[in-house]
Amino acid sequence: MSTGMYRLLALIVVAALAMALVPVNAQSQEMPHAGTRQAAPGQVVVGIYVVGFGNFDANKGTYTIDFYMWLIWDASDLNFTALGYEFMNGRASSTTKISDETDPATNTREVWYRIQASLYNEPQFKSYPFNEFEIVIQIEDSKLTTDDLIYVPDTEGSTIDESMNIPGWQIKNQELAVTDNVYENWDETYSRATYRISVGRAIGTTALKTLLPPIIFCIVSGLSFAFRPDKIANRIGFGTSMLISAVMFHISQTSSLPPMPMLMTIDKIMIATYSFLAASLLVTTVMYIDEEYWKDRDYTKQVNYYGAIIAIALPFIVYTALNL
């Protein structure tokens, strides 16, 4: 064989050995990766990996969440029990232990659970329907205070599965944090691990569904300004029908909500809409009085012209005033 052939065979052998030595990427495991692997005495590392979400009712603040949770602690700490935790904003409907291992080299015990829980968080309606919602998982130990146990968040491993989505909502942020929760009545302090997922409504579709009907109400009612002064019946018909439609739309948007002690964004939008519809009806009424009693057609035209300008500007003024 020629020298070139030997070189080619040698190159093929080297390439084959190199490919054999390169490790193949392992397939994704069913359980996520835990970040922090060790905990100091008296500390328990807690991590959460959310894989499913359902039964979401933003108006009531209820939801069902499916997730992995892992606890890592010093196995020599005999006071701590893995199942001693409890959810402070709901109850677990099912809990399955996935694994329970102890590393003899570091004396670290690591327990994994697959949990499905029905939880609750108080919704905030001030900016409804553009409001955001926080999906919260709150965990405390049922017996051990901060004198004996402090949670340490595994921020490196805690996250949300990429396939999880919430129809009609956008996931904006997620965070696992630990705080001290003080119970003043018993003079006790417990370590609380809180996992928060911030979600918000899709701005584009929400704005379209919320703002389009009031805009249509105002446009249809505003067509009355193009009618002649003698078409009073038609002008009143346009104004009153759109006012009734606006009230019904407002009721449909807020009927499923609990009674609110403050004005929400949808209330401010509809009050601004009412101001336009009321202004158009008021202009029509003044024109009718002028047409029937004052008999001043020049004055009627001025009322119609300046009334239209005021009616168009009034919703913006009202909405700005309500937000101050």
Q: How confident is the model at residue 297 (pLDDT cuts 50, 70, 90)?
A: low
Q: How confident is the model at residue 35 (pLDDT cuts 50, 70, 90)?
A: low
CB neighbour list of residue 301: distance below 8 Å, 6 or more residues apart: 229
Same CATH topology for 43-201 and 205-323: the answer is no
**H/E element, 248:** helix 232-254
pLDDT: which is higher, 241 or 23: 241
pLDDT recorded at residue 294: 67
pLDDT recorded at residue 296: 61
Q: How confident is the model at residue 33 (pLDDT cuts 50, 70, 90)?
A: low
Q: How confident is the model at residue 91 (pLDDT cuts 50, 70, 90)?
A: very high
Q: Under CATH, to which class is 43-201 assigned?
A: mainly beta
CA angle 68, 112, 169 (to 5 degrees): 5
Dihedral, 110, 116, 122, 125 alpha carbons, nearest 10:
120
Question: pLDDT at residue 136 above 60?
Answer: yes
| pLDDT single digits (tens) 197-211 | 999 888 888 888 899
Q: Are 92 and 139 in contact (CB under 8 A)?
A: no
Question: For the chain, which residues make up each domain, given as ranges?
Answer: 43-201, 205-323
Lowest-confidence region among 130-134, 138-142, 176-180: 130-134
Question: pLDDT at residue 274 above 90?
Answer: yes
DSSP bridge partners of 181: 190
Q: How confident is the model at residue 185 (pLDDT cuts 50, 70, 90)?
A: confident
As a residue count, the chain comes to 324
Span 313-320, average pLDDT: 94
Question: pLDDT at residue 184 above 50?
Answer: yes
Span 109-130, average pLDDT: 91
Entry pTM: 0.73
Q: Calculate what percentage of the chain has a pLDDT beyond 70.
A: 85
Please compute, for residue 57, the number of CA atoms within 13 A of its CA located in the half-sphere on the CB side. Answer: 11
CATH number given to 205-323:
1.20.58.390
